[in-house]
Amino acid sequence: MSNPEELETVELAEELELQLAASLSLEAPAPSEDYWSSIESTLIAIEAADTDEDDLVAVGPGLAAMGQQKSGLTKALFGTAAGLMLLALGGVWLFQSDGFLTGDEDTTESAVAAGQAEVFEEVARQAEAESFIADNSATEAAEESSDESFDDFAADLEESTEAKDLALSLEEFDWFNAINSSKNLVSDETFNKVRVSSADGLLELNDYAIYRFSTDEGVTGRVVLASTGLAAKATVYDPTGEELAADIDFVDFETTQPGEHYLVIDIADPTDLEGTSEPIEFGLSLQLN
Amino acid sequence: MVDKPEVSESALQTLAIAGDAQAFGKLIRTYDHDLRGAVYNITRSANDLDDIMQKSYEKAFKSVSNFNARSSMKTWLYTICTRQAIDHLRYEGRRDHDEIDGSHDSTEGSNSPESATLSKMACDEVLQDLDPETRAMLVFTTALGFSFDETAEIMESQRGTVASKVGRAKKKLRDRYSQAGEDS
């Protein structure tokens, strides 16, 4: 720094840095008078529309969080070779993975999942009075209403023309079945007492697929998910709607209570798909030990 | 709508993710000043600012249920607002506006009136020529003090890409400043 030219160069750079920062730090003008009222009325309208259109909001805190436009039910039913390719890829992951039976540890994702669970607990503590968060005494009712909601949902579906088409594509197995999917379940096998079921489907923006499976307490499971560009995410919920685990490829979980669990497939980051019309294809395998 | 009890930001976030408009509204009121400032400095459009922010919040609320908590909600909102701002610039086909707040002293920190004029001129010219993404990256790194990693997360880009684009923009600025000095 003893060279005068170097000193001058640093001086100029600093001045330019200051000028650049100043040029990019202009104070934004104040919003218009109706700025917030307009935003809030829009938000309330969106909330009301979602509440009216989405049967899932009554299911429970976990699944309620998945509420979106129910566009998946009206999707055309078709299969593609690409979907099967994805499923095959998922199968390869499933059987080549060292952690197939034991489960791989992903500390980051576990931390995220734990953090989300803590947030739910915090809300339950702080907003106990709100109907949105069920307390312990309401949990069983929520569990029952969960099944009833899905049953009602399925009954409504059967009465519609779309439902007749959809019903043709949804095979039901003893322990694993699709509640809402634009494609079908493709296999259900048991290998050495390990139950494995597979499915594939299509997702668009704000779309989702839901599968329900029955299992006991203390069962370890793994979902292997393959999707176009890894754009889809799998989330496993317990019978109360509590999220057990979520990820875009491997989802390892352990059940904490018996009953109907739910597997929701949706778009991991919808902002990635804004402006695109191509649906995301996914294939999945669920195995329970 | 019944008023909800006071809750923490994380609880508000959870309620917002569940689709609660009131909770989401409270959150964006908290973040709006910073988000609005970033968008304004990317677009330089006072007339369109409210519209861009409203569209951003609408998009965010529609997709909030898919917010995955891998980043903070504020970072996620920065991403949506920035994308909306960049889309706006592309749609409008313009990167500069006449409605820049004239009361702001954009020559602060200068050593002399002459060098201040030159540096301001160089900044104005270079910023005007930058593509929207690079301009946004400069806003986050230079004006708002975000790291390259944080900016990459907001811009859904790579750290190296951010560093490279910011570095090139600054080199361009230094070259332009040097040239302006020689010309004068």
pLDDT tens by residue, A267-278: 888 777 777 777
Whether residue B139 has pLDDT greater than 90: yes
Most confidently modeled range among A167-181, A192-206, B9-23: B9-23
Whether residue B99 has pLDDT greater than 60: no
Q: Which of B16, B17, B25 is nearest to B65 (CA)?
A: B17
In chain A, the residue whose alpha carbon lies closest to the alpha carbon of B36 is A28
Of B104, B132, B149, the domain-final residue: B104
A96: pLDDT confidence band, cut at 50, 70 and 90? Answer: very low
**Residue range A57-63: mean pLDDT, rounded:** 33
Same domain as B64, residue B119 = no
Q: What is the ipTM of this complex?
A: 0.80
Q: Say if A24 falls within a structural domain.
A: no
CA-to-CA distance for B154 and B150, rounded, in angstroms?
6
Most confidently modeled range among A22-26, A212-216, B113-117: A22-26
Same domain as B180, residue B118 = yes
- Sheet order of strands, A232-237 included: A176-180, A208-215, A259-267, A232-237, A243-247
**For A273, what's the count of Cα atoms within 13 Å in the CB-facing half-sphere?**
22
Burial, A20: exposed, middle or buried (Cβ in 10 Å; 0-12, 13-18, 19+)? buried
CATH number at residue A163: 2.60.120.380
Residue with token string 């009136």: B113
Q: Give counts: helices (H), strands (E), chain A.
A: 7, 10
Task: Dump pLDDT digits (tens) for B162-181.
Answer: 998 888 888 888 888 888 77
Q: Which residues of B touch A28 (CB under 8 A)?
A: 33, 36-37, 39-41, 46, 49
The domain containing residue A195 runs over which residues? Answer: 42-288
Task: Dump pLDDT digits (tens) for A18-58.
Answer: 888 888 888 999 999 999 999 998 898 888 876 654 433 32
Q: Which of A246, A49, A32, A30 is nearest to B61 (CA)?
A: A49
What is the CB neighbour count within 10 angstroms for residue A130? 16
What pLDDT is recorded for position B125? 83
Same domain as B60, residue B19 = yes
CA-to-CA distance for A199 and A87, rounded, in angstroms?
8
Whether residue B22 has pLDDT greater than 70: yes
Radius of gyration of chain B (CA): 19
What pLDDT is recorded for position B120? 79
Whether residue B94 has pLDDT greater than 60: no
Q: Which of B4, B111, B170 sits opposite A130 (nearest CB)?
A: B4
Q: How many domains does chain A have?
A: 1
Most confidently modeled range among A62-71, A81-90, B118-127: B118-127
Whether residue A254 has pLDDT greater than 70: yes
What pLDDT is recorded for position A39? 92
Q: Which residues of B touch A271 (CB under 8 A)?
A: 59, 63, 79-80, 83, 156
Q: Say if A274 falls within a structural domain.
A: yes
Of B49, B80, B104, the domain-final residue: B104
What pLDDT is recorded for position A204? 80
Q: Which of B8, B160, B146 is nearest to B78 (CA)?
A: B146
What pLDDT is recorded for position A182? 54
What pLDDT is recorded for position A179? 61
Q: Say if A32 falls within a structural domain.
A: no
**Residue range B19-30: mean pLDDT, rounded:** 92
CA-to-CA distance for A200 and A83, rounded, in angstroms?
7
CA-to-CA distance for A202 and A184, rounded, in angstroms?
10
**Residues found in chain A:** 289
Quote the mean pLDDT of chain A: 61
What pLDDT is recorded for position B30? 93
CA-to-CA distance for B184 and B173, rounded, in angstroms?
16
Same domain as B132, residue B77 = no
A76: pLDDT confidence band, cut at 50, 70 and 90? Answer: very low
* Chain A residues 171-230 within an 8 A CB cutoff of chain B: 206
- Per the CB < 8 Å rule, is A24 touching B10? no
Of B84, B104, B124, the domain-final residue: B104
* Lowest-confidence region among A151-165, A226-240, B61-75, B121-135: A151-165
* Three-class SS state of A175: coil
The more confidently predicted of residues A65 and A275 is A275
Same domain as B80, residue B4 = yes
* Contact (CB, 8 A) for A282 and A203: yes
What pLDDT is recorded for position B169? 87
Residue A259 carries which side chain, given as an amino acid letter? Answer: G
Q: Which residues contact B103 (CB under 8 A, 6 or more apart)?
A: none
CA-to-CA distance for B31 and A59, rounded, in angstroms?
31
B3, two tokens: 């008023």
Give helix B159-183 / helix B148-155 axis angle, nearest 10°. Answer: 110
Q: How many domains does chain B have?
A: 2
Q: Which residues of A touch B49 (CB under 8 A)?
A: 28-29, 31
Same domain as B78, residue B56 = yes
What pLDDT is recorded for position A235? 92
A274 touches chain B (CB under 8 A): yes
Same domain as B134, residue B66 = no
Q: Which of A130, A139, A154 is nearest to A259 (CA)?
A: A139
Quote the mean pLDDT of chain B: 82
CATH number at residue B182: 1.10.10.10
What pLDDT is recorded for position B152? 93
Same domain as B6, residue B90 = yes
Residue with token string 């996620």: B76
The pTM assigned to this predicted structure is 0.47
Most confidently modeled range among A274-278, B66-70, B94-98: B66-70
Q: Say if A122 falls within a structural domain.
A: yes
* Contact (CB, 8 A) for B17 and B65: yes
Whether residue B104 has pLDDT greater than 50: no
The domain containing residue B178 runs over which residues? Answer: 107-184
Same domain as B143, residue B96 = no
Same domain as B18, residue B91 = yes
Same domain as B41, residue B76 = yes
Q: Say if A241 falls within a structural domain.
A: yes
* Lowest-confidence region among A88-102, A186-200, B26-40: A88-102
Same domain as B123, residue B99 = no
